[in-house]
Chains A and B, each alone.
Chain A
Amino acid sequence: DGGITQSPKYLFRKEGQNVTLSCEQNLNHDAMYWYRQDPGQGLRLIYYSQIVNDFQKGDIAEGYSVSREKKESFPLTVTSAQKNPTAFYLCASSIGAGGLEQYFGPGTRLTVT
């Protein structure tokens, strides 16, 4: 079955540690996205990538970093510089660089204490 996988489902880290969230897709989609979701705030775009080896900052990129070395993979690193990292993180992909219809993974809930 084609789809988007995010692992792990739940992630716990101590404050001051960097943590990397995995996102893999086998839909052969060109574009991939990372969103952060907080209660009552909807989804906010962190980073997106339209092609391999290229990515752009979204609305809330500070404290995050990404890489896009392979078409199917778009890992997100939450660095110690992110002041409020505890959140639900969602990865998405779209068939082309147009990004008009995005498909979402199941999400990773990150808790930093």
Chain B
Amino acid sequence: AQSVTQPDIHITVSEGASLELRCNYSYGATPYLFWYVQSPGQGLQLLLKYFSGDTLVQGIKGFEAEFKRSQSSFNLRKPSVHWSDAAEYFCAVVSTGGGNKLTFGTGTQLKVEL
């Protein structure tokens, strides 16, 4: 079964600094990968997705992610973090068989220092 690992539970960055959130997946075939963001007490919003093609994908709010098959990674990046980016971020993978269910990582809580 596929799995997703987000090794950083909490990350703190200063406003204006760059950000990288790590995501590693375990899946035999080509994965379909997602990053979602969740503000406290809210639902999840899709930031970006990778299905195929260019391994560097652009998302909303200035985020991007790079798919690296050799490292089984799909790390999320942002060049300059804003205070409003403070939230919890989830990486997810879906298989193309068995109901196409999403498997989520445990999330990374981002704190932004002003």
Interface residue? B70 (CB, 8 A):
no
Whether B94 pairs with A42 at a CB distance below 8 angstroms is no
Q: Which residues of B come within 8 Å of A, CB atoms? A: 9, 32, 34, 36, 41-46, 49, 51, 90, 94, 99-102, 104-107
Q: How many Å from the CB of A111 to the closest CB on chain B?
A: 13
A45 and B102 contacting across the interface, CB-CB below 8 Å: yes
Partner of B99, one of A88, A99, A106: A99
A43 in contact (CB, < 8 A): yes
Collect the chain B residues with CB atoms within 8 Å of residue A40's CB. Answer: 9, 106-107
Nearest Cβ distance between residue A35 and chain B, in whole angstroms? Answer: 8
- CB within 8 Å for A107 and B43 given contacts A45-B102, A56-B99, A58-B101: yes
- A105 contact set on B, CB distance < 8 A: 43
